C-alpha cells in the first residue's frame, strides 16, 4: 500500500456520512449499453440488478469489448427503473449493492470501493 493510499484511507475515515454520501453521488459509474436506451437488467435472488463499475477497466473485465455509457451515481438514481438496484464492481475486491436511497451505513460501506476508483483515475 502506498503513502497516497494510506492518506486517502485516513481522509475517508474522518469524513462524516453526509460527506461520504456527497462524494459517492458524484462518482462516475460505467455500464454496458444496450442497442436501445436503457440498461441490461439481471434477475437475481435479491431482485433485479444492473452491473455498474467504478472504472471502464472493470467493465471490460466483466463484459469484454462492448458498447458502454457512464453517468454519476446521482443520475443513476433517476435513470434506473423503480425497483432496480445497482451492483457496483461485481468482480472487484469490494462489490456492493447500491441502494439509491442511501443511508449512513451503506455510504460508509461504499466509500472504500470508491477510494479505489479514485486512485485508479489519478
Instruction: Report the C-alpha gap between 38 and 111 in whole angstroms.
Output: 27
Query: Please, what sign has the CA dihedral across residues 27, 28, 30, 31?
Result: positive
Name 70's bridge partners: 30
Q: What is the pLDDT of residue 77?
A: 83
Tell me the per-residue pLDDT of 4-33, one tens digit each, with 9 for 90 and over: 555 555 555 666 656 666 677 778 999 999
Cell of 73: 451515481
pLDDT at 37 over 70: yes
Cell of 17: 456520512
The residue with greater pLDDT, 119 or 81, is 81
Mean pLDDT, residues 37-58 taken together: 92
Cβ contacts of residue 105 below 8 Å, gap of 6+?
A: none
Q: What is the pLDDT of residue 8?
A: 58
Amino acid at each position: 500500500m502506498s503513502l497516497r493510499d494510506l492518506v486517502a484511507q485516513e481522509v475517508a475515515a474522518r469524513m462524516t456520512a453526509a460527506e461520504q454520501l456527497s462524494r459517492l453521488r458524484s462518482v462516475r459509474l460505467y455500464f454496458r449499453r444496450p442497442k436501445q436506451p436503457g440498461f441490461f437488467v439481471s434477475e437475481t435472488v435479491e431482485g433485479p440488478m444492473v452491473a455498474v463499475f467504478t472504472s471502464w477497466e472493470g467493465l471490460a473485465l466483466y463484459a469484454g469489448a462492448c458498447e458502454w455509457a457512464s453517468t454519476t451515481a446521482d443520475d443513476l438514481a433517476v435513470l434506473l427503473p423503480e425497483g432496480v438496484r445497482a451492483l457496483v464492481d461485481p468482480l472487484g475486491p469490494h462489490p456492493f449493492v447500491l441502494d439509491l436511497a442511501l443511508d449512513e451505513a451503506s455510504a460508509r460501506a461504499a466509500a472504500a470501493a470508491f477510494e479505489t476508483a479514485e486512485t485508479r483515475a489519478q
